[in-house]
Chains A and B, each alone.
Chain A
Amino acid sequence: MAGGTLQIKAISGHAGPVAGANTSRDYDVCKLVDTTTCIGCKACEVACVEWNGYPFRPTSFDNTYQTMPNTEWNYWNLIRFDEHENADGTFQWLMRKDQCMHCEDPGCLKACPADGAIVQYSNGIVDFQQEHCIGCQYCVTGCPFDIPKFNQETKKVFKCTLCSDRVNAGLEPACIKSCPTGCLHFGSKDDMLALAQARATQLREHTSHRNAGVYDPEGVGGTHVIYVLHDSSNPEKYGGLPKNPRVPILVQLWKGPLKWLGGLSMMFGVMGVAIHYLRFGPKEAEMKDADIQKEDRNRGN
């Protein structure tokens, strides 16, 4: 997937057809997080801050195994830890790697007013370009996953890049590389979906997790980070993973009809008053002194 333009088309002095020529390659990328094999070791969290060059940030202890309450502007990858009691009285530790989902229909990008501050690459990665970010945080409003985080000092918003720099160089994201259990996978969307479906089927057929399934929410056009969940009927219990996330309908109204309605109304408003001026003209108050005196007398002044 790296260097897409360097796919070989012809080779000198080569007998027979060029291997791999005339084949289309799938360039969209996907990260698969299998929550059922995550042990909550947080190697991916460390790899993330290491690769992106951030110091570990101070945190608070809140009686769980979760590193900190929420992802932060310089802490993009967080294992959410939930102690969940099932209806039948059994008990589960749920660990979900929380990061940007890289939506196919990204609410952040839709809401952003700054030219070029958020881009979506053809491989599916949604990336923030901080040099164009104006710090308005409309992306926070548009995101159904509560991902973009604001840096108060630089007034810029940050989030997981899916290691776009590494992916561009043909490497897997840092979190994937660090995972010791193999619960993280990286590849094309088709391959990851197939792998995820196979794992979900295995869970349904060979374990007690009858509701096991794949999380690839349709409301945002699918995501380039997908989960295998033991219980896909209730994603909320995995640290508030929304059941049916979508770009908020009001954000769509705001960025769609209201923008056009507002623009057209302003244009027609200005045209309207201009036409009024041409048709009716100004209200001139031309009164001679004598008229004013007459007026004053009539009014008893």
Chain B
Amino acid sequence: MGTRAVLHRGPKTDQIERYTPAERIAHWLTAGTYVYAMATGLGFFTPYMYWLVEIVGGGPTARFWHPIIGLGYVFTNVYLHHQWKSDLKLIPEDRVWLDKVKYYITNEDDLLPEQDRFDAGQKLFYWGMLYCAVILLVTGVVMWFPESIGRSWHWVLPLVVIIHSAAALITIGGLIIHVYMGVFMVPGSVKAMTIGYVSRGWAILHAPLWYKKVANGRTVK
């Protein structure tokens, strides 16, 4: 009899739960709806990216779903907010971290103040996306039904369109950094957001104060 492989249930002993299933589902619903709205929106934004609407079923289909999926994005954002709002509250100490953000960029993290569950950069990204979502919602509803605006208010339409585009571009800037950080710069983050667990080393390096809280009173093997 050789050694038998054993199906492992739950987290390995050296891992801790980073995101609950509900948090992960909320995150990916937000991500999925965002990516659809972004891709179709970019297609509407410039002819050079119009092929993006072709690959999701063509212009009329994309135009039909863009606002509906966009609404879905806003709703999932609300759900995400409901779960994360306390962890993402900006605190005075975040200012210190942001002032020293260059050390984060140059991977000299030991020179940075210790962070809780989310660091100040993540918080800024989150609030930026949330505020932009509100702007996109308000302007998007007007763009959804432009004829409902009376002729005397017609001047609002160009304003609304350009704000919608600018807010979307800001979120795309945030997304580029977010995806880069999650997929490339901080190994272990994709696993954290998919299966939900991180290694102790990950937690100590990236969220030391949070690690102290969650590891408190637990046996460390």
Cβ B185 vs Cβ A155 within 8 A: no
Cβ A254 vs Cβ B161 within 8 A: yes
Select which of B161, B165, B187, B206 is within 8 A of A262 by beta carbon: B165
Select which of B63, B105, B154, B186 is within 8 A of A282 by beta carbon: B186
Cβ A115 vs Cβ B177 within 8 A: no
Cβ B185 vs Cβ A282 within 8 A: yes
Cβ A265 vs Cβ B173 within 8 A: yes
Interface size on B (CB < 8 Å)?
57
Select which of A115, A155, A265, A284 is within 8 A of B64 by beta carbon: A155
Cβ A283 vs Cβ B205 within 8 A: yes
Cβ A141 vs Cβ B187 within 8 A: no
Query: Hey, what's the 0/1 contact readout for A125-151 against B, CB within 8 Å counting as 1?
Result: 000000011111110111000100110
Decide: A283 near B146, CB < 8 A? Known: A254-B162, A265-B173, A301-B215: no
Decide: A262 near B46, CB < 8 A? Known: A134-B60, A296-B215: yes
Cβ B60 vs Cβ A135 within 8 A: yes
Q: How far is the CA of A281 from the CA of B154 in the complex (A)?
A: 50
Cβ A262 vs Cβ B169 within 8 A: yes
Chain B residues with CB under 8 A of A263: 46, 48
Select which of B47, B63, B162 is within 8 A of A155 by beta carbon: B63
| A292 part of interface (Cβ distance < 8 Å) | yes
Cβ B47 vs Cβ A301 within 8 A: no
Select which of A149, A277, A285, A296 is within 8 A of B188 by beta carbon: A285
Q: Mark the stretch among A200-208, A211-219, A266-274 that contacts chain B.
A: A266-274
Decide: A273 near B158, CB < 8 A? Known: A134-B60, A283-B205, A287-B204: no
Q: Mark the stretch among A21-29, A53-61, A245-253 that contacts chain B.
A: A245-253
Chain B residues with CB under 8 A of A114: 50, 59
Chain A residues with CB under 8 A of B48: 263
Which single residue of chain A is at the shortest CB-CB distance from B62? A134
Cβ B173 vs Cβ A254 within 8 A: no
| B7 part of interface (Cβ distance < 8 Å) | no
| B184 part of interface (Cβ distance < 8 Å) | yes
Decide: A276 near B161, CB < 8 A? Known: A292-B201, A301-B220: no
| A166 part of interface (Cβ distance < 8 Å) | no
| B131 part of interface (Cβ distance < 8 Å) | no
Select which of B206, B217, B220 is within 8 A of A292 by beta carbon: B220
| A259 part of interface (Cβ distance < 8 Å) | yes
Q: How far is the CA of A11 from the CA of B180 in the complex (A)?
A: 71
B-side interface mostly: helix
| Minimal beta-carbon separation of B156 from chain A (angstroms) | 9
| B172 part of interface (Cβ distance < 8 Å) | yes
Chain A residues with CB under 8 A of B43: 113
Q: How far is the CA of A293 from the CA of B107 in the complex (A)?
A: 24
Q: How far is the CA of A295 from the CA of B204 in the complex (A)?
A: 8
Chain A residues with CB under 8 A of B199: 285, 287
Cβ B161 vs Cβ A299 within 8 A: no
Decide: A287 near B63, CB < 8 A? Known: A273-B180, A281-B107: no
Query: Hey, what's the 0/1 contact readout for A253-265 against B, CB within 8 Å counting as 1?
Result: 1100011011101
| A280 part of interface (Cβ distance < 8 Å) | yes
| Minimal beta-carbon separation of B149 from chain A (angstroms) | 9
| A286 part of interface (Cβ distance < 8 Å) | yes
| B85 part of interface (Cβ distance < 8 Å) | no
Chain B residues with CB under 8 A of A270: 176
Chain B residues with CB under 8 A of A142: 158
Decide: A134 near B59, CB < 8 A? Known: A141-B146, A240-B151, A277-B180: yes
**A-B residue pairs in contact (CB < 8 Å), sample of 26:** A114-B50, A132-B59, A140-B146, A141-B146, A141-B158, A146-B151, A259-B46, A262-B165, A266-B169, A266-B176, A269-B176, A273-B180, A280-B106, A282-B184, A285-B201, A285-B205, A285-B206, A287-B199, A287-B201, A287-B204, A287-B205, A292-B14, A292-B200, A292-B220, A296-B215, A296-B220
| 12 further interface pairs, Cβ-Cβ under 8 Å (given A113-B43, A251-B162) | A113-B44, A114-B59, A115-B50, A146-B151, A240-B151, A248-B155, A273-B176, A277-B180, A280-B105, A286-B201, A287-B199, A291-B201
Task: Return the 5 tightest CB-CB contacts between A and B, nearest first.
Answer: A134-B59, A287-B201, A250-B158, A273-B180, A248-B158
Residues of B at the A interface (CB closer than 8 Å) are 14, 43-48, 50, 53, 58-60, 62-64, 105-107, 109, 143, 146-147, 151, 154-155, 157-159, 161-162, 165-166, 169, 172-173, 176-177, 180, 184-188, 199-202, 204-206, 212, 215-218, 220-221
